[in-house]
Structure 1
Amino acid sequence: MRLILAVTTALTVAATGARAEEGMWTFDNFPIARANATLGTSIDQAWLDRVRLSSVKFGGCSAGIVSDAGLVMTNNHCVATCVADLSTQAVNYAETGFTPRTREEETKCPGGTAEVLTDISDVTERVQAVGAGLTGQAFTRARDAEIGRIEQEACGDATDKRCQVVTLYRGGQFKLYTYKKYTDVRLAFAPEDRAATFGGDLDNFSFPRFAIDAAFIRLYENDAPAETPTHFVWKADKPVEGTPVFVAGSPGATQRLLTMDQLATVRDVVLPMDQLIASELRGRLIRFSAESEENAFIAMDPIVGLENTYKRGLGRMRALTDPAFMAAKAEAEDEFETRATGMDNGIRDGGMDLVGAGNPWAALSAVQPIARELYPTMALLEGGTGMGTTPVAGGSQLFGWARALVRGAQERAKPSAERLPEYGDARLASLQSALFAERPTYPALEQVRMEWWLSKTREWLTVDHPAVRGLLGQESPEQLSARLVAGTKLGDPAVRRALWEGGLAAVEASDDPMIQYLLSIQDETRAIRSDWETRVQAPTDQASERLATARFLTYTDSVYPDATGTLRLTYGLIEGSDVPGQRFGPFTTFAGLWDRATGAAPFDVAPKLLAAKDRIDADAVMNMTVSSDTIGGSSGSPVVTAAGEIVGANFDSTVLTQRNAYGYDRTVNRSVIVTTGAVTVALRDVYDMGRLVEELGAR
């Protein structure tokens, strides 16, 4: 009952504006006064600017600059792909750790890109104006074209920055984000994987934790370490319970501003499909992994990623099937709608009618049957719904390259403003960087992914679906996947580069079976995307824009936007938890690690870490929990004090916290942090990385 009351109170208060520590705030609308009043701090705009310029977006993760020579701390699981790409069976850095003795031995992460947000400007009026009076795909394409023009005007042909128009408040605002971009990112340190993942999937999304889930990369420019005079100050002292802290990162996506009807679609259609599909792919990869040592090496990183996806989805399913949680969401929506449509709130006087044909709740409700019908086809064959996590082609790298080459060639033959947005001129540099990267590919793993995807698509859409017939032709999933993977030469970056630079003529003339396959399915997949944009995306965007306007008029600037993978700042206290199913203090120590260790996986301590046991202070804090507002994508986020000192990096949260995707509940929200103290111990006492300890200014 205590938990139910807490959830209801939290969500109801959230309807009238963010409360206490709630909010993944953008840096141009951070509630400085409220944060200071809540925490007893005295941060100001200059402090915000320093934090923003010290924060890094690294792939799908977050990170923080910690020295004036481009050194950046993130999570070990955020560099797992880099570690895998640099490893071989003979030299497996996941097993040994990556511990370069000198800066010269720091090794480039293939395709790695890091970005620092340097500027935010408002382009809302310009984007919204081009869609006025349009409907369907004409509406979405007009906006996409204008966004492309804005990005190109801002960044031009610059290779050291990226410009992105981001959608906030589900269409209520559009902001131009300008990033300083680093395409030379080198691995500077990674511990043994067992040190970072102690407890494995059993401990994942839980606390107590005993993981050194931290790693370092370094930003380079002109083949030299980047100069980064603005950075966080390293603080390795033992953390103190109750200390106010701030978490800066790029959370992936929340759905807090969705209506109850939209959430029902997520609960009834999106999550069940994603969970079933993810669990089967995980099973196939586990079976593949068990077949040989080579397969185990190949599949290790993909399996960990799938386990995270599945467990995150499980926590979200529990939230959307929790009667108390959903009742609180419904109460909050009713309160908002009543206030917004009331005659006394000035909305109608301001020229906005939220009743009748203008009612955004009714418009969004009308879209849901169509979204439910189209989601499986769109998710499996095209992706990009913004709703779920099902990977197109099972996440096959070869398929992804082929699609980028085929679509890129087709789209680049058009004026930039007429292209699919991901192929606009302003976005081609990032696409090329990923396409030309020298990354290893594993045909056996590629075939597992492709075979799974083809069989699941046929199963979900049925044999008689027109798209399935075009997808498979006369072949079985097993035959087709084997033929495509065995015959393609796209694993060679020189082949990919030649096809990209050769343009449409080279792509159409290619005899590569994967290229020819992608060419053959373009009509079906493009038609699916067009149908989705016309019948789901456009009416959703238009209704969401009206809803956002109503929210601004009702609650002013006390509302924060859903997370969208853009840089945000949240705050809270170092503290434990005391609710049913989640009772713990805020800290774990190395003594707790030794006590938890059994010697049997996943509770076996990494060899180098175990060998250093006598050198490690048993009372040193390893991990801690913070009552901050985080979600997937916040991994690696620097945790900093009001003095600008970094005291840890976010690497996980609890299962109960997964409801955070739909609504903040301070009672259960806990972010799991690896402390800078634990990282210092690892660098100094375990991995002989004294040069990094010295660079950090640690003892």
Structure 2
Amino acid sequence: MRLTPALAAALLTLAAASTAKAEEGMWTFDNFPIARANATLGTNIDQAWLDRVRLSSVKFGGCSAGLVSAEGLVMTNNHCVATCVANLSTQAVNYAETGFAPRSREEELKCPGGTAEILTEISDVTARMQAAGAGLEGQAFTRARDAEAGRIEQEACGDATDKRCQVVSLYRGGQFKLYTYKKFSDVRLAWAPEDRAATFGGDLDNFSFPRFAIDAAFIRLYENGAPVATPTHFKWNADKPVEGTPVFVSGSPGATQRLLTQDQLFTIRDVVLPMDQLLASELRGRLIRFSQESEENAFIAMDPIVGLENTYKRGLGRMRALTDPGFMAGRATAEEDFKTRSAQQWSDMQESVRARQRAAGTPQVFISPVNPWDQLSRIQPIARELYPAMALLEGGTGLGTTPVAGGSQLFNWARTLVRGAQEREKPSAERLPEFADSRLTAVQSGLFAERPVYSGLEQVRMEWWLSKTREWLTVDDPRMPVLLGQESPEARSARLVSGTTLADPAVRRALWEGGLAAIQASDDPMIQYLLTLQEPTRAIRADWEARVDAPTARASEQLAALRFQAYGDSVYPDATGTLRLTYGLIEGTDVPGQRFGAFTTFNGLWDRATGSAPFDVAPKLLAARERIDGDTVLNMAVSSDTIGGSSGSPVVNEAGEIVGANFDSTVLTQRNAYGYDRNVNRSVIVTTGAVTTALRDVYGMQRLVEELGVE
């Protein structure tokens, strides 16, 4: 039989819908297929190995990281500490340009608002969570589930400030797990290279291979003013990697959407991604224009621009996947197989539930007479209609990436203060979930952090948001008078930014601690503005929760039950920002349009350098050229299953030794959100050998080299 592209894609996608094969799967640590991984890779890992890897893995903000010494030293990516570097820098002392290389541990600087977490326990709370919504529909269902999650988290963590508890939905409602983390709120920057060393090739090389980037950095975990003792950590292995070697990647991938139905993906393809791409493109253009106005603006906008470029290119890769006929045909074939397998199961499930309900005399579980695929199809027109307003005014749809208020820090602080004050007047179980008692510690940590605020950047962000919201919702939208009144986007944003005092953390703390009375009495224009926005923004959120979130959760839960019956526990859940383990081989690819070997070296870096941005070598790195062994492997490609959020993930060999850190993937890998394709999925890794070379031969960080145990 001839394997056509469409059939090949179908077989690949079928694996995601049924039973994962080869390197596919972002597996939770409590359901990792040890036997299958060992059989595939020829390794011999066991549960004790998994436990050591889990306790050595770190979640750092929206990134991943790994413990590499007994004294709280953690390796992650340079782009994962970019915000910390920017917050610690000034135009006069810009660590992004010079690198940050403290000569002693005492010179390591605290990252404002930085937190790190280690997963210590996973427990099943499925029964409680599913019972909480029994017999309910719409927003009542959503709020009941949120309230139960808050109760579970509060019971497990209480008022502890050194722990965080999170109820996680897996398999889109098929399971709920309580994740308990050890939390560190004192995170200090221990080393970061020059930004040009980590971003060589710039946006042109981003999401590509070959790469030539030292995208690595170190942070250190502190507690009670001293480095944390971490006897469980990855052993550093700086040996030259060997092609074909099996490796494991442990990190916290952000979100995948592989378990969505075709109709749900069509909404993302037709509505969500086009809108997000257009908005991100314009915001990037405005920020580039802002950066060109002065050297100070260039310094201020550097990190935001890089982030937007990543967002845009990631969206582009996903658009290509959803408009690829072969890829989508593969998903359609997989869905039909699932429907065929589960048709009788759906009928049996309905009758079983009805029988239990009759026996109990009260409804135990809601079950629709309409099958879940049809239910989800009926929701899509509503989601398409509501998405623009929900994304622009409220965010949090779980579908796209449009930032509310353009990501304005002042706006977000004001919204937290206003909503927090209003919600804390209610019992915890009746609040919006982000303000439940169990989550207030994290809210306060972000709110009170001392971060620099640049009024020019804030103005650009808010002006963009107001103008785009008016454009997308139209001038005649009834919410426009509240958003703009009689002012232009330029005038309103300028007035709000120039008049607010929320850049001062003491002001934010006083407003938070003063509660609703202090908020209502405040004459701060940004606070007053957010007070006026509560009615329209809360209304769109309530509408979305009632008409999209709740029925989607209901149908998805039923779909998950059918999936378990059809395929058993060989199914892995979508990524949810929680710790996962994946694996693969160190290797390149010979796919047309993506042909490359497994490794790049420092010699390749020198060959690629032109002296002109973005192919100009960082000054300190260039100055050390004669001290660097040109054959040292700089970056490598691995066939592991990763996605955004996996940045910084430790790459570990069978012995449990760290051999690199994931920092990127190829552009074709962006389809990984919707399905894994071993032929093209490649993660891009900075090697421990390259990091050792940078520490020792470029930045003079011999004390860290010794701490890592390098001879």
The code of the aligned residue for 2:332 comes to A
> Shift of the alpha carbon at 1:2?
7.1
Please say if residues 167 and 178 of structure 2, whose CA atoms lie closer than 8 Å, have aligned partners that are also in contact: yes
Choose the corresponding residue for 1:274, options 255, 273, 276: 276
Query: What SS class does the counterpart of residue 43 from structure 2 fall into?
Result: coil
Show CA shifts across 1:442-493 (max 9, x none). Answer: 0000000000000000000001111222111111100100000000000000
Asked if 1:292 is matched to 2:304, the reply is no
- Note the C-alpha offset of 1:698: 1.3
For 1:69 and 1:134, the matched residues in 2 are separated by: 50
Aligned with residue 253 of structure 1, among 228, 252, 255: 255
Q: SS at the partner of 1:521? A: helix
C-alpha distance in 2, partners of 1:665/1:307? 24
Distance 1:48 1:91 in 2: 42
Identify the match of residue 657 of structure 2 among 618, 625, 645. Answer: 645
CA contact (8 A) 1:78 1:635 kept: yes
1:677 equivalent in alignment to 2:689: yes
Out of 230, 240, 250, the residue aligned to residue 232 of structure 2 is: 230
Deviates more, 1:572-581 or 1:1-10: 1-10
The answer on whether the counterparts of 2:16 and 2:258 sit within 8 Å (CA) in structure 1 is no
Cα distance, 1:590 vs structure 2: 0.2
Structure 1 position 172 matched with structure 2 position 184: no
Q: Contact (CA 8 Å) 2:5, 2:326: kept in 1 or not?
A: no
Pairwise CA distance, 1:656: 0.3
SS in 2 for 1:357: coil
Contiguous gaps of at least 5 residues in structure 1: none
Q: Distance in 2 between matches of 1:533 and 1:469?
A: 24
2:365 pairs with 1:360: no
Q: Does structure 1 residue 410 correspond to structure 2 residue 422?
A: yes
Which of 294, 315, 325 is the matching residue for 2:317?
Answer: 315
CA distance in 2, matches of 1:568, 1:122: 16
What's the CA shift string for 1:261-317, capped at 9, x where partnerless? 000000000000000000000000000000000000000000000000000000000
**Residue in 2 that maps onto 1:512:** 524
Aligned residue identity for 2:181:
Y
What is the match of residue 612 of structure 1? Answer: 624
Matched position secondary structure for 1:11:
helix
5+ long unaligned stretches in structure 2: 356-365
Contact 1:6 1:667 in 2 (8 A): no
Q: Deviations over 1:15-58 (max 9, x none)?
A: 32111110000000000000000001111111100000000000
> In structure 2, what is the Cα distance between the partners aligned to 1:350 and 1:318?
42
| Post-superposition offset of 1:342 | 3.1
Which residue of 40, 55, 65 corresponds with 1:38?
40
Deviation track 1:337-386 (CA, whole Å, cap 9, x = no partner) reads 11011369965675589998240000000000000000000000000000
TM-score, normalised to structure 1, is: 0.99
1-side partners of 2:86 and 2:367: how far apart?
Answer: 55
The equivalent residue for 1:73 is: 75
Structure 2: distance between partners of 1:22 and 1:395: 34
Written as runs of structure 1 = structure 2, the 5 A alignment for 1:427-466 is: 427-466=439-478
Helix, strand or coil at the partner of 1:500: helix
How do 1:295-306 and structure 2 match up within 5 A? 295-306=297-308
- Residues 339 and 345 of structure 1 are in contact (CA less than 8 Å); yes or no, is this contact kept in structure 2? no
Aligned residues of 1:347 and 1:553 also touching (Cα < 8 A): no
User: How many residues in Structure 1 have an aligned counterpart in Structure 2?
Assistant: 699
Could you list the per-position Cα deviations for residues 423-456 of structure 1 after superposition, in whole angstroms to 9, with x for gaps in the alignment? Answer: 0000000110010000000000000000000000
Partner in structure 2 of residue 218 of structure 1 = 220
1:94-133 correspondence to structure 2 within 5 Å: 94-133=96-135
Tell me, what secondary structure is at the counterpart of 2:369?
A: helix
SS of the counterpart of 1:693?
A: helix
Please tell me the residue identity of whatever aligns with 1:53: L
Q: Alpha-carbon deviation of 1:685? A: 0.2
Q: Quick one: distance in 2 between partners of 1:466 and 1:112?
A: 40
Question: Contact 1:570–1:630 (CA<8 Å) still a contact in 2?
Answer: yes
Aligned match for 2:637, one of 589, 601, 625: 625
CA contact (8 A) 2:26 2:582 kept: yes
CA contact (8 A) 2:171 2:560 kept: yes
1:627 partner letter: S
Single out whichever of 461-470 and 314-323 deviates more from structure 2.
461-470
Report the aligned-residue RMSD: 1.4
Matches within 5 A, 1:345-384: 351=353, 357-384=369-396
In the other structure, the counterpart of 1:563 is 575
Which residue number corresponds to residue 361 of structure 2? none
CA shift in 2, pair 1:343/1:150, >3 Å: closer
Q: 1:426 aligns with which of 426, 438, 452?
A: 438
Pair 1:257–1:666, CA change in 2 (3 A): same
d(CA) in 1 for partners of 2:367, 2:12: 28
- 2:17–2:259 CA contact under 8 A, matched in 1: no
Tell whether 2:344 aligns with 1:332: no
- Give how far 1:334 is off: 0.4
Name 2:93's counterpart in structure 1: 91
Tell me which residue corresponds to 2:405.
Answer: 393
- Cα separation, partners in 2 of 1:340 and 1:276, compared to 1, 3 Å: same
Question: Would you say the 8 A contact 1:6–1:665 is kept in 2?
Answer: no
How far off is 1:406 after superposition?
0.3
Shift of 1:8: 2.8
SS of the aligned residue for 2:58 comes to strand
CA shift at 1:606, angstroms?
Answer: 0.1
Given candidates 131, 134, 143, the residue that maps to 2:145 is 143
**Distance of 1:47 and 1:663 partners within structure 2:** 28
Alpha-carbon displacement from aligned partner over 1:113-167 (angstroms, at most 9, x marks no partner): 0000000000010011010110000000011111111000100000000000011
Query: How much does 1:509 deviate?
Result: 0.4
1:580 Cα deviation (Å)?
1.1
Task: Give, in whole Å, the separation in 1 of the partners of 2:710 and 2:450.
Answer: 35
Q: 2: CA distance between counterparts of 1:349 and 1:395?
A: 49
Deviation larger for 75-84 or 339-348: 339-348
Q: Deviations over 1:226-272 (max 9, x none)?
A: 01010001000000000000000000000000000000000000000
AA in 1 matched with 2:645: G
- Kindly, what percent of the aligned residue pairs are identical? 81
Show CA shifts across 1:481-527 (max 9, x none): 00000000000000000000000000110010000000011001000
Q: State the 1:693 CA deviation.
A: 0.3
Equivalence for 2:671: 659
Provide the TM-score with structure 2 as the length reference.
Answer: 0.97
Task: Identify which of 542, 567, 572 aligns with 1:530.
Answer: 542
Alpha-carbon distance in structure 1 between the residues aligned to 2:81 and 2:479: 37
Equivalent residue, structure 1, for 2:513:
501
Question: How many angstroms apart in 2 are the aligned matches of 1:589 and 1:4?
Answer: 37
> Structure 1 residue 7 and structure 2 residue 19: aligned?
no
State the secondary structure of the residue aligned to 1:466.
coil
Give 3-state SS (helix, strand or coil) of 1:405's partner.
Answer: helix
Question: Measured at CA, do residues 373 and 230 of structure 1 come closer, stay the same or move farther in structure 2, by a change above 3 Å?
Answer: same
The AA in structure 2 aligned to 1:377 is A
Distance 1:232 1:86 in 2: 28
Equivalent position of 1:190 in the other structure: 192
Is this contact kept in 1: 2:608–2:615, CA < 8 A?
A: yes
How far is 1:11 from its partner? Answer: 1.2
Deviation, 1:533, is 0.4
Which deviates the most, 98-107 or 468-477? 468-477
- Give the drift of 1:6: 3.9
The CA distance in 2 between the partners of 1:350 and 1:678, in whole Å, is 59
Q: How far apart are the structure 2 equivalents of 1:12 and 1:542?
A: 24
